[in-house]
Structure 1
Amino acid sequence: MQSSHHDSGFTVRLADPDAPLDVTGSVPARSFAQRRRNRHGRGLRGELMLPTLPAYRTRSDRFDEFVMDSAQRLHDIWGKPLDGVRFAVEEIPPNLEQLVADRSPAPLGSYTPPTEDEGPVITLYRRVVEQACPVPEELQDLVHDVVVEHTAEMLGVAPETLDPVYRRRY
């Protein structure tokens, strides 16, 4: 794969394992990710966790799955009114330092109304939700409740009418 700047004769050639040898007859150097072990032979020989094990997914991956499951559940119940709604996950809310300085609680999520360019966005703040959850086993329920609350705010209905099991699990 070659890339060249149109003004000068400068070209860049990225290493391609299937590419023929260069003019010096040497094999292009492999990147660190392609090497199995480090140069002293002491590196990892394989993956630490197999993809089939539960610990393979990170906390962030699990949180994203919780948000997508909740959004899919609401979409299955309500359908058309939720078309075009984007669900996003951010680590922390913007201006968190100012919220802490004012001693006000950090929001668990936010709703951004639609603009001319894009539809409505419901954002959950992963770190804040994880901190607010007293028991890790209840994280999925709390995530679902936050999604329901902000979706209800968007639709202008009560959260109990949006999802019949809202806050009935704990």
Structure 2
Amino acid sequence: MTTSGAAGGPLHLRPGRDRHGRGARGPLLPVGVPRYRTRSMAFDQLVLETYAPLHNAYFDQLSGVDLAVDTIPRMRLRADSAVLPDEIVADGPIPLGRVLEAGVDRSGNPTRARFVVFRRPVEQRAHTVEERSELITWILTALVAYYLNLDPRDVDPDFPW
């Protein structure tokens, strides 16, 4: 591509530095472009899309519940406990999701109930988008069933219990 410089002579624009022939450096899409999404943003969107049918089916009961995604589980679990509490959905000893009941925070302000899905453990267990979607569906169904005190098969008849 050639354009004219300030003096009227040709100005050659070089592509970004391409040392060692490895291709362009930096992101392919600028951050402000609508198609730009990080892995965590894509995961968040998948969680929202998976949760929407459950929220719509139990709208009145789940209207006071927030949905959150956390990178890793940050909770203190006893190392000698073989069974995790019911509010935690896990794959063996690794928590994948959790129900946080409504309560009061350290400042004395009331908090709403919250479903939390842990991104990194889910990504490590599901490698394709389809597997990830199925695993997130399983996690959210179990969390909603626990919160509503229902059997997971009542929430989703295809639940693999």
TM-score over 0.5 (shorter chain):
yes
Counterpart in the other structure of 1:123? 116
Greater CA drift, 108-117 or 132-141: 132-141
How far residue 167 of structure 1 moved from its aligned partner, in angstroms, is 3.7
Q: Distance in 1 between matches of 2:16 and 2:78?
A: 46
Displacement of 1:141 in angstroms is 1.4
Percent sequence identity is: 30
**Closer, same or farther in 2 for the Cα pair 1:120/1:66, shift >3 Å?**
same
Residue equivalent to 2:5 = none
Shift of 1:159: 1.0
Q: Distance in 2 between matches of 1:47 and 1:105?
A: 37
After superposition, give the CA deviation of every residue in 1:39-96 in whole Å (9 maximum; x if it has no partner).
xx9589x96226465xx32211111111111221111111100101011111101158
Q: 2:62 aligns with which of 78, 82, 92?
A: 82
Q: How do residues 6-155 of structure 1 correspond to structure 2 at under 5 angstroms?
A: 48-49=28-29, 51=33, 53=35, 56-95=36-75, 105-116=93-104, 117-133=110-126, 135-155=128-148
Secondary structure of the 1:107 match is strand
Is 2:156 aligned against 1:163?
yes
Could you list the per-position Cα deviations for residues 93-124 of structure 1 after superposition, in whole angstroms to 9, with x for gaps in the alignment? 1158986xx9x721001111111401211111
Counterpart for residue 85 of structure 2: none
1:153 counterpart letter in structure 2? Y
Shifted more, 72-81 versus 89-98: the winner is 89-98
User: Over aligned residues, Cα RMSD in angstroms?
Assistant: 3.2
Which amino acid is the alignment partner of residue 102 of structure 2?
Answer: P
Shift of 1:165: 3.6
Q: TM-score, normalising length from structure 2? A: 0.63
Greater relative CO, 1 or 2 (CA 8 Å, sep 6+): 2
More strand by share: 2
Larger radius of gyration, structure 1 or 2? 1
Structure 2 unaligned blocks of 5 or more:
1-14, 18-23, 83-91, 105-109
